[in-house]
Amino acid sequence: MKSNLLISIVIPVYNEEKSIKFCLSSLESQTYKPLEIILVDDGSSDNSQKIIQKYLDEKGMLAKIIFLQSSHQGTAKARNLGVSRASGEILVFVDGDMIFAQNFVDELTKPIRGQKSRGTFTKAEYVENWNNPWARSWNYNEGISSKRRIPQDYPDKSPVFRAIKTMEFRKVGGFDDIGFTDDWTLSRKLGYLASVTTAVCYHKNPSSILEVYAQARWIGKNEFITGSFPRIIFNLIRYNPLFQVFNGVILGVKFRHFYQIPFQLIYSIAVIQSIVGSVFGEVKYKR
Amino acid at 146: S
pLDDT value for 251: 98
CATH number of 7-203: 3.90.550.10
Q: Report d(CA 39, CA 128) in Å as an integer.
A: 21
> How far is CA 200 from its chain centroid?
15
Q: Report d(CA 203, CA 140) in Å as an integer.
A: 16
Q: Report d(CA 156, CA 256) in Å as an integer.
A: 32
pLDDT value for 61: 53
pLDDT value for 281: 81
- In the sheet with 7-13, reading across from the earlier edge strand, the strands are 65-70, 35-42, 7-13, 90-93, 163-165, 119-122, 194-197, 157-158
Enumerate residue ranges in the chain where pLDDT < 70: 1-3, 60-63, 283-287
pLDDT value for 168: 98
The DSSP call for residue 131 is T
Q: Report d(CA 265, CA 6) in Å as an integer.
A: 46
Asked whether the whole model's pTM tops 0.85, one would answer yes
pLDDT value for 173: 97
pLDDT value for 101: 98
pLDDT value for 59: 78
Going from N- to C-terminal start, the domains of the chain cover 7-203, 209-279
On whether the CB atoms of residues 66 and 36 are closer than 8 A, the answer is yes
Among candidates 200, 183, 158, 15, which has minimal Cα distance to 93? 183
Residue 201, phi then psi, degrees to nearest 5? -145, 165
Q: Report d(CA 193, CA 185) in Å as an integer.
A: 11
